[in-house]
Structure 1
Amino acid sequence: MTRKEKASAHLTAALERDAADILRYLERRLGTDDAADALSEVMMAAWRRAEAVPANAEQARMWLFGVARNVVANSERGERRRSNLAERLRGTLAAAQTGGRPADAGIEVRDAIARLSPDQAELVRLIHWEGFTVAAAGAILGIPASTARTRYQRARADLKEALSTGHGSRQN
C-alpha cells in the first residue's frame, strides 16, 4: 500500500469514527442549519491535507477538531463581514434617500410607464432609472440599437400623451 493510500485509509477511519462528534461540536457553535455544511468543509479540508493526519487515533481526533475550529472561525469572520457590509449598505441607502419627498412623488410617471408594453417599459427604466444610453439599453435587452431608438421614441410619445391627457395622474 502506498503512502497516499495509507493516509487515505487512515483519514477515512478517523472521519468515520469522529464525524458525529465533530457534527455535534459544529451544531453547538454554528447552529443546526449550518453544521452540516461546516462538516463538509471540515471533510474537504481534511482530504486536502490527508497526509498530515496524525497516525495516533486520539491525535487524529484532535487534529480534526482543530480543522473544525478553523472552519468555525472562518464562518464567524464571514458572518462579521456580511454584517458589516449590510450595515454600511444601510447607512449608504439612508444617506441617499431624499429628505422631504412624499412617498407618492412621481407616481403618475411610474403608472404611465407601467402601462407601456413590457419591452418599452424596461427600455425606459434602463435609460432613465439606471442611466444607460439607448444603445446600451438595447444591448441589455438583446435588440439592435436602431430598434431600441425606435422603441424608445415610441415609448416617449406614449408617455407624453398619457401624462398630458391625465391618464397617468391619480384619481382621488
Structure 2
Amino acid sequence: MDADERGEQLEQLFRQTFRRVMAYCLRRTGETAAHDVVAEVYGIAWRRRRQLPSDDEEAVLWLLGIARRALANQARSQRRWARLLLRVAERADPPDTGPLRHDGGGELAAALAQASDADRELLRLAYWDDLSRQDIATVLGISVGAVDTRLHRARQRLRVRLGAAGAHQDPTDEKDDKDDKEKDHAER
C-alpha cells in the first residue's frame, strides 16, 4: 500500500473513529483538553500513516494507544505547569490536577480517585471503553495474561476502597470474579 492509499485509509478511519476517540479522551479529561488531544492523535497518526495497521479494528486500537500516550503527556505538562505556578505563587499545596473527572459519581468516583493511574486506566479501558482483554493488551502494549492479572488486582483494590467507604458490593462483581475464574480455567 503506497502513501496515498494510506492517507486515504487514514481519512476514512478518521471519519469512522473520531467520535470514539473523542469519547475516550472526554472520559479522561475536560472538553477543551480532549479536543487538543484528539487533534494531536490524528496529527501523529497522519505523520505515522505508514505504520497504520491495515485491519480496521487494529487501527482503532492503534489510535487509542496514541490517545493514551497523548493524554499522559498532557497530564505531565499540567503537573509541570502546576508546579511552576506553585513556585511563582510560593504556595504550599498544589491544586488538584489529576486526570480523573468527577461528575458526581459518588463513592465510586472517590474510590477511583484514590486508585493508581495504572488501575484507573485499566478499569476505564475495560468498563468505560468496553474493550476486550486482547484489545486492552494491544492498547497498553502488554500481554493478555498481564491484562488479566492487572485487571483482577485492580478490581480487588477498588472493592477494598469501596468497602472502606461503606459501599456494599454489587452482586455483579461476584459474577465477574466467577467469569474470570472460568475464563482462566478454560485458557489453561
TM-score in terms of structure 2 length? 0.46
How many Å apart are 1:33 and its aligned residue?
Answer: 2.3
Q: Deviations over 1:38-64 (max 9, x none)?
A: 111111111010111100001000000
Please name the residue that 1:82 is paired with: 81
Q: Which AA in structure 2 matches 1:66?
A: G
Q: Verify: 1:68 aligned to 2:67, yes or no.
A: yes
1:86 Cα deviation from its structure 2 partner:
0.8
Instruction: State the secondary structure of the residue aligned to 1:30.
Output: coil
Q: Which residue of 2 aligns with 1:48?
A: 47
Deviation at 1:22, TM superposition (A): 0.4
Give the residue type in structure 2 aligned to 1:39: V
SS in structure 1 of the partner of residue 90 of structure 2: helix
* Partner residue in 1 for 2:33: 34
> Structure 1 CA distance, aligned partners of 2:80 and 2:65?
23
Q: What residue number does 1:13 align with?
A: 12
Quote the Cα distance in structure 2 between the aligned partners of 1:61 and 1:33. Answer: 22
Q: What RMSD, in angstroms, separates the aligned Cα atoms of the two structures?
A: 1.4
- Cα deviation code 1:111-164 (max 9, x no counterpart): xxxxxxxxxxxxxxxxxxxxxxxxxxxxxxxxxxxxxxxxxxxxxxxxxxxxxx
1:82 Cα deviation after fit: 0.1
Identify the residue that residue 164 of structure 1 maps to in structure 2.
none
Identity %, equivalent residues = 31
Q: Where does the alignment leave 5 or more consecutive residues of structure 2 unmatched?
A: 92-188
Shift of 1:11: 1.0
Gaps of 5+ in 1: 93-172
Shift of 1:35: 1.3
- Structure 2 counterpart of 1:61, which letter? V
Tell me the amino acid that sits aligned with residue 82 of structure 2. Answer: S
Distance, in Å, in 2 between the alignment partners of 1:90 and 1:31 is 25
Question: Could you tell me how far 1:25 is from its partner in structure 2?
Answer: 0.8
Q: What are the superposed Cα offsets for residues 76-122 of structure 1, whole Å, 9 maximum, x if unpaired?
A: 00000000111111229xxxxxxxxxxxxxxxxxxxxxxxxxxxxxx
Larger CA Rg, structure 1 vs 2: 1
